[in-house]
Amino acid sequence: MVPSMTEPGPASASLILLGAILSLSILADAVASRTRLPRISLLVLVGLGVAVVQQWWLAQPDARPLDGLGEPLIQVALVMVAFLLGGELTAERLRTTGPLILIVSLSVIVVGALAVGAGLLALGFPLAVAVSLAAISVATDPAAVQETIHAGGDTRLRARVLLGIVAIDDGWGILVFGLAMAALGWALSGDGQLALLEAAWELGGALALGALVGLPAAWLTGRLAPGEPTRVEAIALILLLAGLSSWLGVSSLLAAMVTGALVANLSRHHTRSFNEIEHIEWPFLVFFFVLSGASVDLLHLDESLGLILAYVLLRLAGRLLGGLLGVRLARVRQAELPRDIGLALTPQAGVAMGMALLAAEHFPAHGTALLSAVVTSTLVFETIGPMLVRRVLR
């Protein structure tokens, strides 16, 4: 006798959806390998497809894919990214990057953030939206820039400068975002003293947690033979950072970046923790990109079109002007750089969307606008970004 079919329970539905998302990611990889479409954009489009089914077809505008499982998956993916970014901030790398890269990088960051923040405020958008997007605009997608440069085989100074900038750019972005969230919490709170204490805890607590996890990890990890023990160590670090930062109410991105930097600088005996995380990172990023796309409120997307257009144009203008200033300052050192080098730093992906999700949690009243602006602009920047990189290199 064939058992009667019933609707799947929450656990079964979540497992089926996880499997379907990973299966679609394989299809996205196949499409990306045969076209010039970035796979991150394809995964975000898959998420938007999920949103279309839930919000329009099933008429469930408030439903969230995977229910309570989505938030931990996103948190783990963000912590992995921040930990790997921290691993790039070694003393040796910062010495070899040199002042030229720091000059251009800081010029693009400062001018770009000011252009986005001041521009949005001048257009009448709320302070929380303007400052959040200004901080988010700092982040760059290093993978898109690196892949485009390596595909062209360019080894000139401009290519080396771009590679050096994107290696540290998201680290700057996390610092700027943490400071911006703390400053906004203080500025928008009625109780300034309490808000200042909360901001100090969010930043100072993140530094303390990163040191508390990172210092013993730098000595303990990698002592066993390579393989599964090291993989377990790496996963343990990520889960501890994600769980403790959420419990303590501190910045998970900053805590993970501090831990990664400590392990990279103090752990002279191995680099395997970073390698193991890189091996397991992609499935979590798949869930992250798809769930980010699925989080967009399509029913109110038209209300955010003005913000989306303003953010895209202001970020492009800020990158261009920041690059112009950086090249002008660097020319004192006789650096042969193109004046539009800032446009090569246009691609934006995972870290920016992670910041948008965190900003939406901080300011739920503006969450829909922030997520819509960043997720939609990510599709634009990931599509035109590689073309702008090739233009600058050419």
Q: What is the pLDDT of residues 166-181, one digit of tens each?
A: 767 777 777 788 788 8
pTM of the model: 0.76
Give the mean model confidence (pLDDT) for residues 311-329: 89
What is the dihedral angle through the alpha carbons of 80, 81, 83, 89, rounded to the nearest 10 degrees? 160
* Residue 282 neighbours by CB under 8 Å, 6+ apart: none
> 328 pLDDT exceeds 60?
yes
Identify the DSSP state of 65: T
Token pair in block for residue 93? 């790398």
> 275 pLDDT exceeds 50?
yes
Q: What does the pLDDT read at residue 310?
A: 92
Query: Please, what is the average pLDDT of the chain?
Result: 78
Give the mean model confidence (pLDDT) for residues 136-142: 83
Whether residue 104 contacts residue 277, with contact meaning beta carbons closer than 8 Å, is answered with: no
Q: What does the pLDDT read at residue 228?
A: 46
Q: What does the pLDDT read at residue 78?
A: 79
Give whichever of 8-22, 120-134, 379-393 has the largest mean pLDDT: 120-134
Lowest-confidence pick of 78-87, 124-133, 149-158: 149-158
Chain position carrying tokens 């303990």: 220
CA distance 184 to 363: 10
* Residue 15 neighbours by CB under 8 Å, 6+ apart: none
CA distance 200 to 306: 34
Give the mean model confidence (pLDDT) for residues 369-391: 83
CA 52 from centre of chain: 24
CA distance 383 to 40: 10
**Residue 152: closest CA among 141, 164, 163:** 163
Architecture per CATH, domain 39-56+71-393, reads as: Up-down Bundle (1.20)
Give the mean model confidence (pLDDT) for residues 137-152: 75
Q: What does the pLDDT read at residue 349?
A: 75
Burial of 309 (0-12, 13-18, 19+ CB in 10 A): middle
Whether residue 61 contacts residue 135, with contact meaning beta carbons closer than 8 Å, is answered with: no
Identify the DSSP state of 291: H
Share of the chain above pLDDT 70, in %: 81
Tallying the residues shown for the chain, one arrives at 394
CA distance 142 to 150: 12
168: amino acid identity, one letter: I
Give the mean model confidence (pLDDT) for residues 200-226: 77
Q: Where along the chain do its domains lie?
A: 39-56+71-393
- What is the pLDDT confidence band of residue 62, given thresholds at 50, 70 and 90? low
